[in-house]
Amino acid sequence: MQWVLSMTYLWLKAGHVVFVIFWMAGLFMLPRFFVYHQEAAPDSPENAVWTDREAKLLRIILWPSLVVVWVLGLALAWTIGAFGQGWFHLKLALVLALTAYHVWLAGYHKALANGERRLTGKRLRLLNEVPGIAAALIVILVILKPF
């Protein structure tokens, strides 16, 4: 029985990290798509192509990965009893911030599809640093568990 439990835990963690990678890849790609999208003329065929690419990235990669990362992450937290641990509280706060960023990006895609170009390319590139910094902090927290 112990063997089954430890294998389940390891498969949960492997699945969790795999979908974390997919989620992060999508979070890095989408703002890049926005930058190239905004370089296209608003009524051009290229504008429509970028809208379609963004929609596919959200539908096929970003939303499913977000759900799987949360489900497997919470299952892991339950398995190891992480809910009372300080590192997990800060990790969860950072992941909630990343999830809010994800939702904001989905909203930006909708606005862009309606012709609204709210941020400059330079601002969008700068924004792309956000998931990188958050991911680094999250990985340090979960591996070192400093508190």
Enumerate binding residues for ligand HEM (CB under 6 A): 13, 16-17, 20, 24, 69-70, 73-74, 76-77, 80, 82, 95, 98, 135, 138-139, 142-143
Rg of the chain in Å (alpha carbons): 18
Chain-centroid distance of CA 16 in Å reads: 13
**Residue placing its CB nearer to ligand HEM in the complex, 24 or 105:** 24
**Residue placing its CB nearer to ligand HEM in the complex, 63 or 70:** 70
Residue number of the CB closest to ligand HEM reads: 73
**Residue placing its CB nearer to ligand HEM in the complex, 33 or 88:** 88
Q: Is the dihedral of CA 4, 7, 9, 11 positive or negative?
A: negative
**Residue placing its CB nearer to ligand HEM in the complex, 51 or 73:** 73
CB of 55 to ligand HEM, least distance (A): 23
**DSSP string computed for 34-102:** HHHHHTS-TTSHHHHHHHHHHHHIIIIIIHHHHHHHHHHHHHHHHHHTGGG-HHHHHHHHHHHHHHHHH
CB of 44 to ligand HEM, least distance (A): 36
